[in-house]
Chains A and B, each alone.
Chain A
Amino acid sequence: MAIFKQAKHFWTYIVLSLVIFGVIQFMITGQMLNLFYVNTLIFIAINIILAVSLHLIIGITGQFSIGHAGFLAVGAYASGIITMKLELPFAAALLIGGLVAALAGFIIGFPSLRLRGDYLAIATLGFGEIVRIVFLNLDYVGGASGMQVNHLTTWPWVFGCILIAILVIVNFTNSTHGRACISIREDETAADAMGINTTYYKVAAFVIGAFFAGIAGGLYAHNFYIIQPSNFGFLKSFDILIFVVLGGLGSLSGSVIAAVLLTVVSTFLQDYPETRMIIYSIVLIVVMLYRPQGLMGTKEITSIFSKGKRSKGGAKDGNKQTVA
């Protein structure tokens, strides 16, 4: 019976999200939202995809990656090449952007995931910088001056991608594979001793995360008219990281909420970039000092409504500390 109950919840959420989608789509076609709001909405949506993709890597598997903008860049450029140079449809561009980013995730993840903690963080940071420098030096994609891309990203596309991203990541988290990933986050040595193939699961989580970052990259590229390597620097990786950290390492809904909140805040502070960075950094330091588990800890927002049930994707022993 538990399965049917879960399935009922599943369909409730699907219907709920479709209703939200319909309402916003209706408001867009009815021109109740001006271009600024639509743009902000698309931007929020792209950030949500980025946040949940990094959540899988950091929050669930506990692998501290701070080069996520590298995958975003790979996806953005790959999809840009597909639509602009090869003139294939947008859907193909998104898919191939995701796959190329996943490949990049595999290539970087396979060797570097043998590293732990700080070393992995630095290796991924280095990888992000290398990706940026490679695109900076590739004349085929315009080098430093950037690459022209058509505006193709619309609300139905981004919504579809969010839905798929969240569905895949939630189901992954609640599957055997996800449990294995969580056990790696809790204690890698113990997980290894229990017979879990840690390398396999770490690489798997990394590749899936990179895939969705690549799709977000495709949406990101086709939301602007131009993409430049300077859009994908360390600060971009940091922006994504702060969604996950602030939302709570291990909480998918937390990272979604943080992505929404912070995107709105940074949209309003767009004209004051220094103030925005100062606020960001102070928030980050204060949260780490006083609430290191983030806004939601490892809890999900659904577990607030259904009290008494055990939260999904979190530690099962009531451990509220971030263990990554």
Chain B
Amino acid sequence: MKGREEIAQALAASGYIADADLATAISLMQLLRRPLLLEGEAGVGKTEVAKALAKVHATELIRLQCYEGLDQSAALYEWNYQRQLLAIQAHRGTDSIEDQLFSEKYLLERPLLAAIRRPRAPVLLIDEIDRADDEFEAFLLELLSDFQVSIPELGTISAVTVPHVVLTSNGTRELSDALRRRCLYQYVDYPDADREARIILARIVGAGPSLSVQIARMVEGVRKEELRKVPGVAETLDWAAALVGLDVRDLHNVPETVHETLICLLKTQEDRARVTREVTLRLLGRVA
């Protein structure tokens, strides 16, 4: 078993700037073999955790994006009808085709089935599980406890390896207690200024240490304003990229540019109106 320190090192090496909790959560996932449920506001980097996890384990990432109306044929498996029809036409008059039609050859793997049939355990990311229906959640719960799937025409398929499962939720719907209990839980918050500065530094080519710190502090200030849509890490990175692209070295030198480029962070008209030139200057004043 990989120790917690090793995981922390591997995370750092993968380029993901993790907080202290995450390494613990990942080591627990291995020890207890439970899925990890990540909750938090949109844009705090929940999906990134799964990507980092895949790098830590040096394995494949299989992603299932949930949406309302997601069903088994999109999540688990589907028969390849076109191919089946072609085969029927091609073998018209022979008996043998019937046995072959529902075989592996005509089976289309969808993410969930793919995840349990890989020779090396992949990371299975079930993104925004709260968008799927209750029924799908119940089905998922069953899959996550048994790790086997029964396909009527083929029989039961058991997991070759047990994938590392990460679920994310934005809280658009309350998840069932059963699913919550099954999972390890982590609430992902907006990173603090220090961590966000390190993220900018790692991700944006050309952003120097001092500019990164300034941007992170500025964003921290913006988040404290009463906004309708609080900017996430992705927005921060957009803004940093914009500033670097405009050849900004120090925010204090170009308050006008700072104010104009805030459109990278503020995504509704109300928020834009709320952060006036004066507010920008006030926030900028607090950035050391």
B is bound to A: no
Q: Could you list which residues of chain B lie within 8 angstroms of chain A, going by C-beta atoms?
A: none
